[in-house]
């Protein structure tokens, strides 16, 4: 199936513009893009190369959450867990590709809210825009929660956990202050080096500290609730899609997005598979989530120390995307976002403060690591990562679903993708809701040690 067949539009013209339609000169991409024409702008946003975009996607997606995967393997068994990881990776790659195609078809899109307006009008814009913002806030909250665990381990619960969470909030806020993605890119490189090193140390330490024979299982006999809870933790590892429109909007050439996507999918899938299976192999069925907690006290502190940058900086990337959505919504079509005036900078700082404070409230309200991850996966990730990309495909191909055999096959595939999204949402909400109810006695808004 060729792109030209699926998406009947002169994509080169859409990128390079301008087009001629009905005798009228269409806007070029520079004018359609959310940041407008930046040739004479004081602050430029569309400055990233494809590898910058790819590294930002990796930093957004691959964080300490990778170390929750060994517990998913312990629940499902090595073979089912490996199959689920590979399947979700393939599904994530395909749906990411569809998001990229939708952006090329509609250069004006900057967020899921913009896409929602194309699909459902003003109401769709508000629903998907609010959903994207809430989703990112929940992801940011998981980073604050992880920072709490990290500091409790490193200090031996040397202070009230609320104090640690406030420290994490302040650090993340300060890191989110740069307004352009190209500055956040440097942080994303540091974040990846941090999580890669921490994961490598965890794998090596698990092997060295392994005591005697460890019983591992190729498959397990697990209840539906526990099994699907583990699946949602795997799904959480592939939920970068919500930021793709924003990342593409700040690249020099959005047509290079497929390279960025391939960079993300290959690196994260290899890391997920290797780390999850090796750590489970040497720790066994009782592996903790995150797996760093299964190491000896000394090695656990070393691994957590190495994970400090990724714990903070992956949240910074997420926070930047959330703040940029509000910022662009306020100033789109205005030159204010391209200036260093007191209004533009002050507005950006105020948005950052507000978004990070809300995420901190969420983190303190749901202080159970796996439960928070599964809730995020079910409520938001199912749609932004899987359901909506399938809907984008139907929108781009409306009226031609069964035109050819290839088109018919793709229609069936996207119906399947949409069905997967619905199943993940409904079943995931059920199992995560039960889990949160069962863990209701855990310490919300307290000084208790959550490590």
| Residue 356 in domain | yes
H or E element that contains 25: strand 24-25
Assign 3-state DSSP to the chain and report helix, strand, coil percentages, each to 5: 75, 0, 25
pLDDT in tens, 208-265: 988 777 788 888 888 888 888 888 888 888 888 999 999 999 999 999 999 999 999 9
Contact residues for 344 (Cβ-Cβ < 8 A; gap 6+): 331, 336, 337
First to last CA, the chain: 50
What is the band of 71 on the pLDDT scale with cuts at 50, 70, 90?
very high
| Residue 26 in domain | no
What's the pLDDT score for residue 96? 96
| Residue 451 in domain | no
Expressed as residue numbers, the domain containing 76 is: 45-438
What's the pLDDT score for residue 28? 53
What's the pLDDT score for residue 302? 92
What is the band of 183 on the pLDDT scale with cuts at 50, 70, 90?
confident
| Residue pair 352/365 in contact by the 8 Å Cβ criterion | no
pLDDT in tens, 301-341: 899 899 999 988 888 988 999 999 999 999 887 888 888 88
What is the band of 8 on the pLDDT scale with cuts at 50, 70, 90?
very low
- Burial class of 303 by CB neighbour count within 10 A (0 to 12, 13 to 18, 19+): buried
What's the pLDDT score for residue 162? 85
Distance CA 21, CA 26 (A): 7
Hey, which residues does 21 pair with through a beta bridge?
Answer: 24
| Residue 443 in domain | no
What's the pLDDT score for residue 106? 94
pLDDT in tens, 382-392: 899 999 999 99
| Residue 401 in domain | yes
Distance CA 264, CA 54 (A): 6
pLDDT in tens, 52-68: 999 999 988 888 878 88
What's the pLDDT score for residue 43? 86
| Residue 72 in domain | yes
SS3 state of residue 24? strand
What's the pLDDT score for residue 337? 85
Output the domain CATH number for residue 108: 1.20.1730.10
What is the band of 393 on the pLDDT scale with cuts at 50, 70, 90?
very high
| Residue 352 in domain | yes
The count of structural domains within the chain is: 1
| Residue pair 271/120 in contact by the 8 Å Cβ criterion | no
65: left (phi over 0), alpha (psi -120 to 50) or beta: alpha
Percent of the chain scored above 70 by pLDDT? Answer: 88
CA dihedral 103, 233, 79, 413 (to 10 degrees): -30
Hey, which residues does 20 pair with through a beta bridge?
Answer: 25
Helices (H), 107-160: 112-155
pLDDT in tens, 90-106: 999 999 999 999 999 99
Is a pLDDT exceeding 60 seen at residue 7? no
What's the pLDDT score for residue 1? 41
**Helices 388-396 and 405-438: crossing angle, nearest 10°?**
160
Residue 112 in tokens: 């899921």
Distance CA 133, CA 128 (A): 9
Contact residues for 141 (Cβ-Cβ < 8 A; gap 6+): 359, 360, 362, 363, 366, 372
Hey, which residues does 229 pair with through a beta bridge?
Answer: none
| Residue 60 in domain | yes
Distance CA 182, CA 19 (A): 30
Kindly report the average pLDDT of the chain as a whole number.
Answer: 85
49: left (phi over 0), alpha (psi -120 to 50) or beta: beta
């Amino acid at each position: 199936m060729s792109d030209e067949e699926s998406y009947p539009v002169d994509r080169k013209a859409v990128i390079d513009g301008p087009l001629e339609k009905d005798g009228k000169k269409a806007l070029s991409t520079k004018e359609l893009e959310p940041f407008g024409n930046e040739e004479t702008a004081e602050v430029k946003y569309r400055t990233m190369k494809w590898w910058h975009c790819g590294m930002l996607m990796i930093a957004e997606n691959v964080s300490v959450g990778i170390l929750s995967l060994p517990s998913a393997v312990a629940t499902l068994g090595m073979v089912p867990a490996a199959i689920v990881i590979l399947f979700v990776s393939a599904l994530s790659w395909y749906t990411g590709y569809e998001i990229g195609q939708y952006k090329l078809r509609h250069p004006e899109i900057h967020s899921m809210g913009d896409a929602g307006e194309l699909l459902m009008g003003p109401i769709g814009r508000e629903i998907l825009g609010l959903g994207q913002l809430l989703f990112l806030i929940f992801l940011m909250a998981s980073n604050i929660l992880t920072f709490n665990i990290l500091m409790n381990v490193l200090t031996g619960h040397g202070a009230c956990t609320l104090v640690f969470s406030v420290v994490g909030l302040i650090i993340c806020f300060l890191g989110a202050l740069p307004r352009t993605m190209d500055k956040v890119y440097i942080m994303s490189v540091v974040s990846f080096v941090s999580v890669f090193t921490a994961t490598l140390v965890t794998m090596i330490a698990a092997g060295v500290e392994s005591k005697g024979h460890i019983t591992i299982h190729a498959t397990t006999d697990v209840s539906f609730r526990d099994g699907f809870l583990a699946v949602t933790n795997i799904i959480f590892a592939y939920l970068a899609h919500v930021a793709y429109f924003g990342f593409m909007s700040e690249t020099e050439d959005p047509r290079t997005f497929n390279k960025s996507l391939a960079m993300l999918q290959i690196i994260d899938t290899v890391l997920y598979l290797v780390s999850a299976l090796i750590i489970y192999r040497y720790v066994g069925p009782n592996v903790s989530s995150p797996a760093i907690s299964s190491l000896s006290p000394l090695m656990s502190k070393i691994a957590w120390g190495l994970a400090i940058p990724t714990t903070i900086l992956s949240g910074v990337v997420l926070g930047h995307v959330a703040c940029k959505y509000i910022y662009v919504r306020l100033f789109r079509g205005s030159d204010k976002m391209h200036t260093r005036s007191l209004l533009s900078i002050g507005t950006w700082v105020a948005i950052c403060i507000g978004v990070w404070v809300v995420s901190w409230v969420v983190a303190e309200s749901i202080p159970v690591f796996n439960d928070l991850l599964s809730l995020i996966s079910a409520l938001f990730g199912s749609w932004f990562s899987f359901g909506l990309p399938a809907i984008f495909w139907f929108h781009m191909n409306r009226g031609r679903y069964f035109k050819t055999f290839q088109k018919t096959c793709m229609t069936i595939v996207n119906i399947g993708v949409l069905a997967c999204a619905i199943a993940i949402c409904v079943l995931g909400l059920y199992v995560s809701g039960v889990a949160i109810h069962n863990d209701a006695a855990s310490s919300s808004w307290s000084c208790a040690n959550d490590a």
